[in-house]
């Protein structure tokens, strides 16, 4: 069965620090990959997606992610985080049943 692993459960950063959240998946075929964000008290929303083509994808609010097929990874990055990025971040993979990682809680200190 396919699975998604997010390596960091809780990350604490100061404003302006760089961010990288790890995501690895286990599935041998073609995948669609997603990062979602859930701000406190809000619903999950899409941050960015990868279907095919350029493995470096850009999303909203300055986030980007790189798909490395050989490593089955889709890590999320942001060069300089802001206090407003405090949220929970989920990596997800399709096809078949959608599968989400356990989530990473990011706390950004002002």
Partner 1 sequence: DVKVTQSSRYLVKRTGEKVFLECVQDMDHENMFWYRQDPGLGLRLIYFSYDVKMKEKGDIPEGYSVSREKKERFSLILESASTNQTSMYLCASSYRGQPQHFGDGTRLSIL
Region of 19-27, 41-49, 64-72, 75-83 interacting with partner 1 (CB under 8 A): 41-49
* 62: region left, alpha or beta (phi > 0 left; psi from -120 to 50 alpha): left
Task: Mark residues 47-66: x for contact with partner 1 by CB under 8 A, - for none.
Answer: --x-x---------------
- What is 57-72 written as a DSSP string? EE-GGG-EEEEEGGGT
Region of 12-20, 39-47, 64-72, 77-85 interacting with partner 1 (CB under 8 A): 39-47
- In the complex with partner 1, the residue whose CB is nearer, 84 or 98, is 98
Region of 11-19, 20-28, 45-53, 66-74 interacting with partner 1 (CB under 8 A): 45-53
Token duo for residue 43: 């619903």
Instruction: Report the DSSP beta bridge partners of residue 92.
Output: 34, 100
Calculate the CA 10 to chain-centre distance.
13
3 state DSSP class of 109:
strand
Q: Which residues bind partner 1 (CB under 8 A)?
A: 6, 9, 32, 34, 36, 42-46, 49, 51, 90, 92, 94-95, 97-103
């Amino acid at each position: 069965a396919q699975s998604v692993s997010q390596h960091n459960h809780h990350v604490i950063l100061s404003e302006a620090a760089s961010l990288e959240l790890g995501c690895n998946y286990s599935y041998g075929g073609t995948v669609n990959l997603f990062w979602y964000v859930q701000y406190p008290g809000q619903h999950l929303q899409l941050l960015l997606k990868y279907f095919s083509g350029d493995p470096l994808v850009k999303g909203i609010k300055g986030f980007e992610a790189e798909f490395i097929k050989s490593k089955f990874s889709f890590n999320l990055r942001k060069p300089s985080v802001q206090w407003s990025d405090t949220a929970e971040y989920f990596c997800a993979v399709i096809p078949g049943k959608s599968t989400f990682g356990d989530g990473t809680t990011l706390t950004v200190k002002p």
